[in-house]
Structure 1
Amino acid sequence: MKIEEIKVFVCSPGRNFVTVKVMTDSGIYGIGDATLNGREMAVVTCLEEHIAPCLIGRDAHDIEDIWQYLYKGVYWRKGPINMAAIAAIDMALWDIKGKAANMPVYQLLGGKSRTAVTLYAHASGDTIEDTIDKAQAHIDAGFKAVRLQAAVPGLEVTYGVLGDKKDYFELQGNRPLPPEEPWSTQKYFTMVEDLFKQARARLGNNVHLLHDVHSRLTPIESARLGKLLEPYNLLFLEDASVAENQENYKVIRHHTTTPLAIGETYNTIWECKNLIQDQLIDYIRAAATHAGGITGLRRIADFANIYNVKTAPHGAPDLSPICFAAHMHLNIWAPNFGIQEFVGFGNEQLNEIFPHRYEVKNGTVAILDAPGLGVDFDESAAQKYPYKRSYLPVSRLEDGTVWNW
């Protein structure tokens, strides 16, 4: 089965998505997600100008060889742009193989390790009370795990809490590109302990609570936060600090027993190798779209399993339903799956472009037995929502110092 054509689409049904469609001479096609938020067109160029021409005529069944060809076959390895491009091709090839075999992708990976995938929802509010009210609504809907984020009093904007404010696309308007947001660690600490103290008092101990620091703290500050939150028994504390220097997490680990999770910005196994091998984290959060597709994420999952680290794939709204489908097949297979981040299935426009039939029930999703990935892409619908330039915000301390966003 030869690859005949590779198409790349960019559409914006509320936010930008980059989608790859690999066509074969048998008439079977596969789709993949190549979205890289804020750098979408760089990935498009990589795919159209550098990758697609090299794959025409190759056997679509040779997933491993093509992955190695795209990864090892270039001098400039790794990196978010290159790995997002590889990821999209890889997902599309797994989709093709599943359709050709008339089997869902998880069967090709080795079959099920569970009957359903556990999700965690997001509860974000302008106040602590608002956040907990939203968490209770998720619990009432059947979710057993909820991430809590609340606005920090005294800051104009807080990560994860837009509320009725403009979204990131609208913020581009009359503000600098990208938009800039203030940060204060002292003000954050004043809020965060009270958030979880009140949450446990109101929600009880039978629900898993999570929190995303989004890399705002230094390692010793993260250690302090982890210790502070120990009485509230978090499922995990996410992205407590940046781990470009993976030694940073030794500082955190040696001071707290709060479980730690990281990985949504990682592109290969090498970024998380030491963190996993040294058992400095409990959950690895790499995403298929950004870590080399199903092939890349499967390697990370297998490696993590040796060291008792669970998977908790990134599930932000800038990852398309194609990536969600890839995660579902990996999650249902991986023996060390932990939990899946879930922000909903998006708006009507998104669902029109990416038809799918997943259904959330009691905070879980059961995998469907459709061949391939089980999600499709409507080219005509996508044309109605053209690309719009957009950036994620930049964070600054209150004295103007550029900080981690």
Structure 2
Amino acid sequence: MNITAAEVIVTSPDRNFVTLKLTTDDGLVGWGDGTLNGRELSVASYLTDHVVPLLLGRDAHRIEDTWQFLYRSAYWRRGPVTMAAIAAVDVALWDLKAKAAGMPLYQLLGGASRNGLMAYGHASGRDEAELFDSIRRHLDQGFRSIRVQTSVPGIDAVYGVRAPAGEEPEHHYEPALRAAQPMEEDWDTRAYLRHIPRVFEAVRSEFGPELPLLHDVHHRLTPIQAARLGKDLEPYDLFWMEDCTPAENQDALRLVRQHTTTPLAIGEVFNTVWDYQTLIKDQLIDYVRSAVTHTGGITAMRKLLDYAAQYQIKSGIHGPTDISPVGMAAALHLDLAIHNFGIQEYMQHGDATNEVFRQTFSFENGYLHPGHQPGLGVELDEDAAAKFPYRPAYLPYNRLKDGTVHDW
């Protein structure tokens, strides 16, 4: 089963996506997600100019060999652009292999380890009333685990807080603003640290002790600030506190771990196992947050999660709308097969995205399932994709009150 054609498709229905299409000599088509939010064209160029010529004529069955070839032969290793490009190839190859076998991909990964995948939704509000309404809407949609984000008095704009239904801007499905420059947001750490524990106290009082609650700090705190927040949130029994401090310095998590028993989730901006080596070996985190799309694909993520399993660390794969339905399906197949599944992030894509990407995965009663169609269970409609050309878009960034650029 040799690769005869490879094409990179950039489309922007509700947001920008980079998709790799591989075609084999027996007519099978495999799809891979190479989307890197705000840097999409970098991955598209990497694939088109440097990877596609290397794929033509290769045996599509040799997934591990192809992964090692693309990772090692370039000399320059790691990094989000390289790993997203490798992920696109890897996922497309797994899609092809599963289609050739006539099986859904999870069967080739060892079969199902569970019947469904618990998913969490994103609730937010500009005040307590809006937040409670958002949580109720998500519960009505079937979610049984909720990420809670809220505006903070004294901060004008906080990422992750959406306007209520009916008031969303045009880029509702994409926090990246479709503009020539990124949007500037402000930040005040002391105001945030004062406010967030009160928010969770109110949520627990309203919705009770059983509902799993999550919170994304989004890298904004120093280690000692993160330790304080984790300790302050302990009475409210969070499922996890996510990305509490920039973790490129893996040892920084030791300080957080020493001061709080709030579970920690780290890694949505990581792209290789090396980013986690100390975090996992020294048991400084509880959940791995990387995306299949940004971490070298299914081949690499499976190895990373098997490593984490040795230390009772579970998966929490990144899954907002900057992961295309192709990347989301890849995550779901992996989730279903591994033993140490924890939870899956899930944000529903918009109607335009669902027109471009035809999907068979399902969400019912709080659980996701990748479906039973051979391969990933997602096909890209190229005619529909052509209706949505690329549009520049950038994620926001933060400045402190004095104008200093801050972690976002």
Q: TM-score, normalised by structure 2?
A: 0.96
Counterpart check, 1:378 vs 2:386: no
- Separation in 1 of the partners of 2:370 and 2:350? 21
Deviation at 1:125, TM superposition (A): 0.8
Secondary structure, counterpart of 1:118 in structure 2: strand
Secondary structure, counterpart of 1:304 in structure 2: helix
Give the match for residue 295 of structure 2: 291
1:336 maps to which of 340, 345, 352: 340
- Separation in 1 of the partners of 2:176 and 2:229? 33
Give the match for residue 387 of structure 1: 390
- Alpha-carbon contact 2:176-2:395 (below 8 Å) kept: no
Secondary structure, counterpart of 2:159 in structure 1: coil
* Residues 71-106 of structure 1: per-residue CA shift (max 9 Å, x gap): 111210000000000000000000000000001111
Give the match for residue 53 of structure 2: 53
- Separation in 2 of the partners of 1:258 and 1:52? 45
Give the match for residue 86 of structure 1: 86
- Separation in 1 of the partners of 2:13 and 2:178? 17
Structure 2 stretches of 5 or more lacking a match?
none
Give the match for residue 9 of structure 1: 9
The one-letter code of the counterpart of 1:137 is R
Deviation at 1:310, TM superposition (A): 0.2
Cα distance change on mapping 1:326 and 1:38 into 2, 3 Å: same
- Separation in 2 of the partners of 1:241 and 1:171? 24
Give the match for residue 320 of structure 1: 324
- Alpha-carbon contact 1:94-1:105 (below 8 Å) kept: yes
Give the match for residue 372 of structure 2: 369
Give the match for residue 396 of structure 1: 399
Counterpart check, 1:201 vs 2:205: yes
- Alpha-carbon contact 1:123-1:147 (below 8 Å) kept: yes
Deviation at 1:357, TM superposition (A): 2.3
- Alpha-carbon contact 1:102-1:372 (below 8 Å) kept: yes
- Alpha-carbon contact 2:176-2:396 (below 8 Å) kept: no
Deviation at 1:132, TM superposition (A): 2.1
- Alpha-carbon contact 2:370-2:377 (below 8 Å) kept: no
- Separation in 2 of the partners of 1:278 and 1:98? 36
Deviation at 1:393, TM superposition (A): 1.1
- Separation in 1 of the partners of 2:15 and 2:89? 21
Deviation at 1:169, TM superposition (A): 7.4
- Separation in 1 of the partners of 2:261 and 2:222? 17
Deviation at 1:367, TM superposition (A): 3.2
- Separation in 2 of the partners of 1:142 and 1:316? 17
Deviation at 1:303, TM superposition (A): 0.4
* Residues 200-222 of structure 1: per-residue CA shift (max 9 Å, x gap): 00000111000000001000000
- Alpha-carbon contact 2:178-2:391 (below 8 Å) kept: no
Give the match for residue 249 of structure 1: 253
- Separation in 2 of the partners of 1:130 and 1:99? 45
Deviation at 1:171, TM superposition (A): 4.2
The one-letter code of the counterpart of 1:351 is N
The one-letter code of the counterpart of 1:104 is P
Give the match for residue 353 of structure 2: 350
Counterpart check, 1:178 vs 2:182: yes
- Alpha-carbon contact 1:233-1:258 (below 8 Å) kept: yes
- Separation in 1 of the partners of 2:400 and 2:272? 30
Secondary structure, counterpart of 1:48 in structure 2: helix
The one-letter code of the counterpart of 1:105 is L
After superposing the two structures, state which structure 1 stretch, 332-341 or 362-371, moved more. Answer: 362-371
- Separation in 1 of the partners of 2:186 and 2:72? 41
Counterpart check, 1:359 vs 2:362: yes
- Alpha-carbon contact 2:370-2:376 (below 8 Å) kept: no
- Alpha-carbon contact 1:169-1:390 (below 8 Å) kept: no
The one-letter code of the counterpart of 2:248 is E
Give the match for residue 214 of structure 2: 210
Q: TM-score, normalised by structure 1?
A: 0.97
Deviation at 1:348, TM superposition (A): 1.4
Cα distance change on mapping 1:66 and 1:339 into 2, 3 Å: same
Matched positions, count: 402
Give the match for residue 128 of structure 2: 128
- Alpha-carbon contact 1:331-1:337 (below 8 Å) kept: yes
2:285 maps to which of 281, 285, 303: 281
The one-letter code of the counterpart of 2:81 is I
Structure 1 stretches of 5 or more lacking a match?
none
- Alpha-carbon contact 1:172-1:179 (below 8 Å) kept: no
- Separation in 2 of the partners of 1:394 and 1:202? 33
* Residues 123-177 of structure 1: per-residue CA shift (max 9 Å, x gap): 011112211221123224432210000111222211101314644678454xx71
Q: How does 1:33-112 map to 2 (within 5 A)?
A: 33-112=33-112
Secondary structure, counterpart of 1:289 in structure 2: helix
Secondary structure, counterpart of 2:374 in structure 1: coil
- Separation in 1 of the partners of 2:361 and 2:189? 39
* Residues 276-317 of structure 1: per-residue CA shift (max 9 Å, x gap): 110000000110000001111101110000011000000111
